[in-house]
Structure 1
Amino acid sequence: MTGGGAGRGEGDGERPPIIVVLGVSGSGKTTFGQAIAVELGLAFVEGDDFHPAANIAKMTAGHALDDADRAPWLRALSDRIRRSAEAREGLVVACSALKRAYRDEVREAGGPALRYLYLALDRATARDRVSRRTGHFMPARLVDSQFETLEPLEPDEPGLTLDATAALPANIARVRAAFEHCAERPGP
């Protein structure tokens, strides 16, 4: 599906999808990613697990990451995605992937099977969700910095934008329908 579709892309045959669930902190990436992984029978990976300890410490202290901080994280995450792509194993990854450059890096690693699911929501809702969260290193005061960094999906990026405030079953059904639609399309 072009221009915002999920599912199999042209030219990747029966390759299972690699799905990157992206959005700002508080958008529900982990919850949605785990649910879609179960729904599609794919492995799930939490992108936060690939951050070096220095990044976690910096965010815990209330400091936003910059591109230099994110570089080792993106390399590690891209390596994990590349391994799944080369093994022709489907995968769901929850990670912020806020900038187009970050998404391009993981897309290169995932190849034609990679699709994005962008969970969009407003600042106030994100701040509220993060402030109520326990046991996570990301403080609510960093939500604004994420919105400042955020570059929403562009029309040429293979993915789907979803309302992060919509009910989980509704979003899962929307993704499932997009994947089924793409699966019906004949290959090259």
Structure 2
Amino acid sequence: MAAERVVVVMGVAGTGKTTVGRLLAEALGVPYAEGDAFHPAANVAKMSAGIPLDDADRVPWLDAVGAWIRARCGGGGVVAASCLKRAYRDRLRAAAPGRVVFVHLTGDRALIGERMSARTGHFMPVSLLDSQFEALEPLQPDEPGVAVDVTGSPEEISGRALAALRAGGA
């Protein structure tokens, strides 16, 4: 995978975007950013209250993630960001045309719900998982990226993602 590309690790809440993203960044030797850190406080409060974000809520977040991506062009990076809808991914690709590739972490709703229930200290409640699956628009064939199943350990998942990226998904 070309170092000047930025990998966006996407998927519904609970798929392991943060963990897999960090492992990918380490393997690629590039900076990592946590997409949740780009959310305005109002978005975090809304999600913490169990209220799904709407498209308007996501605009400042997407623009902040896009700015981070744009700043990494030429050096590469990995950012974890849900990017559930094609329009969100299009907005990030527009921030750095030809420089963004997606790793879509996919999995069974029951497995992901179980993992979300087991984690602590995160603002996203399990009650929002169904709304995440409802909003999800999987990667399309014309979108640069790969889909990677989330069964297995984080190391196995990131290994599959890295192999897929190196095999041409990037």
Note the residue ranges of structure 2 that are not aligned, 5 or more in a row: none
Distance 1:121 1:97 in 2: 16
- Pick from 29, 32, 53 the counterpart of residue 41 of structure 1: 29
What residue is the counterpart of 1:136 in the other structure? 122
What residue is the counterpart of 1:66 in the other structure? 54
What residue is the counterpart of 1:161 in the other structure? 147
The list of structure 1 runs, each at least 4 consecutive aligned residues, that deviate by more than 6 angstroms after superposition, is none
Q: Give the CA deviation at 1:125.
A: 1.6
Note the residue ranges of structure 1 that are not aligned, 5 or more in a row: 1-6, 9-14, 183-188
Q: Write out per-residue CA displacement over residues 100-138 of structure 1, whole angstroms, 9 at most, x where no aligned residue.
A: 000011111132121100000122122211111110000
Distance 1:170 1:159 in 2: 18
Q: TM-score, normalised by structure 2?
A: 0.93
Residue 97 of structure 2 aligns to a residue in which SS? Answer: helix
Distance 1:95 1:132 in 2: 21
2:70 partner amino acid: R
Q: TM-score, normalised by structure 1?
A: 0.84
**Alignment coverage as a number of residue pairs:** 169
1:40 partner amino acid: L
Match runs of 1:50-61 below 5 Å: 50-61=38-49
Sequence identity (%): 51
Q: Give the direction of change, closer, same or farther, for the CA distance of 1:181–1:84 in structure 2 (3 Å limit).
A: same
**Structure 2 residue 94 is matched with structure 1 residue 108:** yes
2:64 partner amino acid: A
Distance 1:36 1:81 in 2: 16
